[in-house]
Amino acid sequence: MALPAVGPSFLNPEWLISTFGLIGILAIVFAESGLLIGFFLPGDSLLFTAGLLVADGRYLQQPLWLVCLLVAVAAIAGDQVGYLFGKRVGPSLFRRPNSRLFKQENVQRTNDFFARYGARSIVLARFVPIVRTFTPIIAGVSRMHYRTFLIYNMLGGALWGIGVTVLGYFLGQIAFVKSNIEFILLGIVLVSVVPIGIQLLRSRRHAAQASDKATIRD
């Protein structure tokens, strides 16, 4: 059975894995971990689905240890690029105008998260969609000590990349999960889309409120 299509195919983890395989997983993990354009990609659901499909033997024939190792390396490398980008771009990131793919509120939300948790945010942000994309960039902007960033980055990348994949793998061996894998994957897709949908609704609401205030002033 094939996973029912939900939303655009690029947010469908099974479609992504069946089309691009392990290379696609690594590219998406890398992009979501530190590239501005990667914040909407389904990192959590993709890794969980990868674990499920490794256990099921579908699309991914590589051993679990290799998948986990490469995912962790891709996640760590992505954050490294994000940190270097933030360090080079500096304060200009905060002056960048809003666009369809870039919202200042995402930067501010991540900045608040970073200010609250400090270096620990590098690890914690791994498990928070959208925030995990911007956190290494903010770390670079704030000039976090590189060695400190590297240590927390390696820890967070390993915990997230290996942990979520292994969780999917072992759940994929449970009889109930295995016999209902299509519905499980469908649920993962929906969960993946929810944070993005909420973020889009908030952006539109804030834009509408700003427009109303501008109209009232005029």
Q: 118: alpha, beta or left, given left = phi > 0 and alpha = psi -120 to 50?
A: left
Alpha helices in 90-180 (DSSP H): 104-117, 121-124, 131-141, 146-171, 175-179
Phi and psi based region of residue 192 (left: phi greater than 0; alpha: psi -120 to 50; beta: remaining):
alpha
pLDDT in the model for residue 2: 45
124/72: higher pLDDT = 72
Whole-angstrom distance, CA of residue 5 vs CA of residue 84: 37
- pLDDT, one tens digit per residue, over 93-138 is 666 666 555 566 666 767 777 777 778 888 888 887 777 888 888 8
pLDDT > 70 in the chain, percent: 69
Q: Residue 200 corresponds to which amino acid?
A: L
pLDDT confidence tier of residue 4, bands split at 50, 70 and 90: very low
CA dist., res. 40 & res. 101, Å (int):
9
Cβ neighbour number for residue 132 with a 10 Å cutoff = 29
Pick the more confident residue, 124 or 81: 81
Distance CA 27, CA 46 (A): 11
Q: Inform me whether the pLDDT recorded for 218 exceeds 70.
A: no
Q: How far is CA 169 from the centre of its chain?
A: 19
C-alpha dist (Å) from residue 76 to 32, 116, 193: 11, 22, 24
**Residue 68, amino acid:** C
Could you state, in order of their start, the residue ranges of all structural domains in the chain? 14-210
The size of the chain, in residues, is 218
pLDDT at 68 exceeding the cut of 90:
yes
pLDDT in tens, 164-204: 999 889 987 888 776 776 677 666 666 655 655 565 566 56
Average pLDDT, the chain: 78
Q: Side chain identity at 209, as an amino acid letter?
A: Q
Cβ partners under 8 Å of residue 137, min gap 6: 34, 36, 82, 83, 85, 86, 89, 93, 110
Q: Give the Cβ contact number of residue 179 at 10 Å.
A: 10
CB 177 within 8 A of CB 171: yes
Q: What is the structure's pLDDT at 173?
A: 82
pTM to 2 decimal places: 0.74
Closest of 119, 112, 161 to residue 136, by C-alpha: 119
pLDDT in tens, 6-17: 445 566 777 888
Residues 6+ apart with CB under 8 A from 50: 13, 17, 25, 60, 67, 71, 165, 168
